Amino acid sequence: MTKQPILSDGDWRVRLSPEQYAVCRQKATEKPFTGAYYHEHRPGTYRCVCCGQPLFRSEAKYDSGSGWPSFWQPADTAAIAEAPDLTLVRPRVEITCTACEAHLGHVFTDGPPPTGLRYCVNSAALQFEEDKA
């Protein structure tokens, strides 16, 4: 994946909506069951809202019941970086875009086969591109 230049805080604030900025640049979390892509079922690609890098495909999306779009694998493992997140009592694994370092959400080990992973992603961090027929 191509590393994107990291913009200044002011540039990100201009480029992103307040919710996108809070999620992607300040590691906030949108409220469960409220995101634009939680109920999205069309075939397509979920891209990083900050830089456009492809992150997930609709074929790997499933209903985890968590309240956020969930995927069992990324479109390309090189598109997602993982890092420990110790901000809560229970440790988690944060996921970010490798191209622009946008916070996407977290990955958990309670997902379905074949990976057993649940990439739990904020809709605010995504931009959906429907497949062309």
φ, ψ of residue 99 in degrees (nearest 5): -80, -35
- pLDDT number for residue 5: 61
The residue ranking higher by pLDDT, 110 or 1, is 110
d(CA 3, CA 69): 25
Does 15 map to a domain?
A: yes
**pLDDT over threshold 60, residue 1:** no
Does 106 map to a domain?
A: yes
Does 120 map to a domain?
A: yes
* 1-7 average pLDDT score: 65
Domain residues for the domain of 87 are 9-130
Whether 97 is catalytic is no
Q: Which of 48, 97, 100, 120 is catalytic?
A: 120
* pLDDT tens-place string over residues 73-118: 999 999 999 999 988 778 899 999 999 999 999 999 999 999 999 9
Pairing relationship of beta strands 44-48 and 126-130 according to DSSP bridges: antiparallel
Both structure tokens of 53: 């890098």
* 126-133 average pLDDT score: 94
**pLDDT over threshold 70, residue 3:** no
CATH number at residue 72: 2.170.150.20
Q: SS3 helix, strand, coil % of the chain, rounded to 5?
A: 20, 30, 50
Does 4 map to a domain?
A: no
3-class DSSP state for residue 44?
Answer: strand
- Number of domains present in the structure of the chain: 1
Does 1 map to a domain?
A: no
Does 2 map to a domain?
A: no
Both structure tokens of 80: 């997602």
Does 20 map to a domain?
A: yes
* pLDDT tens-place string over residues 18-69: 999 999 999 999 999 999 999 999 999 999 999 999 999 999 999 999 999 9
Does 25 map to a domain?
A: yes
